[in-house]
Structure 1
Amino acid sequence: MRIVSLVPSITELLYTLGLEQEVIGITKFCIHPQAWFRTKTRVGGTKTLNLEKIIALKPDLIIANKEENVKEQVEVLAGRFPVLLTDVNDYTGALAMIRELGDHTNRKEEAHALTAVIEDAFASLDTGPPCTAVYFIWKDPWMTVGGDTFINDMMQKAGFINLYAPFNRYPVADLNALQAHPPEYFILASEPYPFGEQHKAALQELYPDVKILLADGELFSWYGSRMLKAPAYFRRLRMPR
C-alpha cells in the first residue's frame, strides 16, 4: 500500500501503527516523527497541496481531514484516488478515527490496542476541581475555541470549563467582556499562533488576577497517538507553580 497523509497528527499516528514503508508522502507541517519529516516526500502545506506531486506518487490511499484540508483540493484527489476523509470533533471521535484508520491500513489489531491504552490513561486522569478557562489559538484578532471542537473536549479532560463552549468552532474573543467577567485561567497555545512569554506578560498586565498558562498546543489539538502523552501533561499543567 502507498499512503499519502495530509494531516500532521495522523502522520504521527501512521508512524505509531508501524507504517514506515507504506507512507510515501506527507505535508510540510508533518513534523513528527522527525525521521519522516527529513526523508518522506513533502507534498505542500495542509491547505496548499501540490496536487501534481501527489498525483505523481500514485497513492493507493490518501488520508485527509475536513478541517485541515481544502475541500476543493480533496475533491480533485478523490476523483483519482481512494481518499479517507476524517472529521474529528471530540475525544470519542478521535478514538473512532484511530480504529477506522487501522481498518483501512491493515493495522486493526494495533489500532485497537492503541485506543485501549489511551482510554486507560484518560480514565485515571484526575486534575482536581474544574476551573473556568479561555483557550487562545490566535492573536489580532484574539481567537478561541468553541464547544464543538476537539480542543474543547481536551480542555474538559484537563479540568477546564471552556467559557466559549456555547459558541461554535473558532470564535473571536471579546477581551472587554472578559475583563468584566474574567475566567480563572487563560491558556495560550503554542500553535497555530506561537504564543510566548511576551504575550503572557502583556496579557497578565490587563488581567492581573487570571492565571495564564503557556501550553503545548499539540497536546490539546493533535488527535491520534499524541493523545498518549496528554494525560500526564494535563496533570502537570494544573499543578501549583
Structure 2
Amino acid sequence: MKISSFISTSLPLPASVSGSSSVGEMSGRSVSQQKSDQYANNLAGRTESPQGSSLASRIIERLSSMAHSVIGFIQRMFSEGSHKPVVTPALTPAQMPSPTSFSDSIKQLAAETLPKYMQQLSSLDAETLQKNHDQFATGSGPLRGSITQCQGLMQFCGGELQAEASAILNTPVCGIPFSQWGTVGGAASAYVASGVDLTQAANEIKGLGQQMQQLLSLM
C-alpha cells in the first residue's frame, strides 16, 4: 500500500512544574527537567554540634550523673514493689547528698519497714512457707523486704550496724544463708520444693526476729 504522506502529530508539552530549572530539546521535542530541592534543604538544615565543654564542666556533669545513679539505685532497691517510675530531679553539685545523708536515709527506712516484715514472719509455719515462699521472696514480700533492708545497712552504714546486718544475712537457715531465702530459683527455692524439714526452716526464720530487734536497737 502506497503511503503518500505522513501525518505529524505534535506532542503536548508537559505542564510547567514548580522547581524546574531547565528546558532542553531532545529529538525535536521539548522536555523539562524537574529539580529537587531536597539536597539543598538538607544542607541548609544541618547544624554542627558545639565543641565540648570545658574539663571542669565535664567533671561536674559526670559527678552529677554518678549521684543520680546512686540515688536511682537506692530508690529502686527500696521501692517497696512499686511499679511507678521514679523521677529524680536535676541536681547541682552543691545539692549532691553526702554519704552521711545516704546512711541516715537508709537507717530511717529500715527502722520504718523492718518491724512490719518481722510481724509478717512471726506466724510463719511449714505450710505457709511452702505455699507462699515465692510471694514472700519477691517484690515487697517479708523475706525479700527484710533482706533488702539488711543489705542496705550492710553496704551503706558502718560500725555495729554493718556487722549486725552482715551477721543476719549470713545466718544459716537449714544450711542456707538467710540472704538466699529472699530470692526465687536458688537453693532456698529448691529446699522449699523438697518439702523436707520446713517446720525447722520456718522456726529458724522466726528466730532471726531477735537479731533484727538487736539491729533496730542500734539505730
TM-score bracket, normalised by the shorter chain, equals under 0.3
Structure whose CA Rg is larger: 2
- Normalized against structure 1, the TM-score is what? 0.23
Q: Which has more helix, going by share of residues? A: 2
